Structure 1
Amino acid sequence: MDVKAPKALLKAQKMANLLDTAVKLPIIPIRVGLDSLVGLIPGAYDAIMLFVSLRIVWLGKSMGMPKALIAQMIKNSAIDFGLGFIPFVGDIADIFYKANQKNVRIMERWWTGENKAKVDASTRAKLAQWDKDNS
């Protein structure tokens, strides 16, 4: 029995990494992503980043997450979007807030909680097989 995360969760993880932490800044140990970099350009780019952020929310909804968690994810995205309207301060806050990473963590905690018995059983089976192979 092998338990794997659903494709929607894996896709959301990749998107969140690209949006929030894909680039390591030189000299300082801070990672940023497209959301922070594109946010430096004024105009419709914040709206584009909101649309991409809401794609992660949609992936959570497609996994069957509860409405309360989806609402929390929407709130995180809205806060990130709102911060983008504050000149300079919003750009700095965007580096540290990382709404997409927060939303993926919500998805991961929910999925793990929903599948704990399967994950535990799979882990026990793999451990038993490893123990058998190495005895």
Structure 2
Amino acid sequence: MDVSGPGGNLRRMTATLPVGSDPQSVRKRIELLERMLEGLIEVPGLRRKVGLDAIVGLIPGVGDVVTAAMGLYLVWEARNLGLSRWQVWRMLGNVGVDTVVGAVPLAGDLFDFLYRSNTRNLKIIRSHLDRHHPQTRLIDQ
């Protein structure tokens, strides 16, 4: 199983995690979190990646709550970046759908594998950053 991801090994990625509140630091943090939640490990034979959202979601009850909290962190960062209320509500809806449907035994686990709420939310944040902070596009990946 490959846990390295496109940016190098996980240990190196977390060692260089920026702690600033500037848009570039936030972008790097949320992209790393999204990669951990949605694309940490490639499933052999399927050529599809899964992350902590699908893996931890296998733990009944607790798993979906934990991954929802991680997803809400993305929403919190988005709010701090100044995304519109509509964008924040869309992101909250994505996390809510993922949490509620993901809590259904077995079907919810398949749903977590297919419905990538954190990737959807990252797309919303990237759109905002590209429009309002275009200099953040130059991040090493």
Give the TM bin, normalised by the shorter chain: 0.7 to 0.9
In the alignment, structure 1 residue 92 sits paired with structure 2 residue 110: yes
Structure 1 residue runs without a partner (length 5+): 123-135
Task: Report which of the two has the higher share of helix.
Answer: 1
Q: TM-score, normalised by structure 2?
A: 0.76
Moved over 2 A (4+): none
Q: 1:8 aligns with which of 21, 26, 42?
A: 26
Considering Cα pairs closer than 8 Å and 6+ residues apart, tell me whether 1 or 2 has the greater RCO.
1
Q: What is the RMSD computed on CA atoms of the aligned residues?
A: 1.8
Q: How many residues align?
A: 116
Structure 2 residue runs without a partner (length 5+): 1-21
Match in the other structure for 1:17 = 35
Q: State the alpha-carbon separation in 1 of the partners of residues 73 and 129 from structure 2.
A: 18
SS at match of 2:130: helix
**TM alignment of 1:105-120, pairs within 5 A:** 105-116=123-134
Match in the other structure for 2:51 = 33
How far off its partner does 1:5 sit? 5.2
**Contact 2:34–2:118, Cα closer than 8 Å, also in 1:** yes
Match in the other structure for 2:99 = 81
Q: TM-score, normalised by structure 1?
A: 0.80
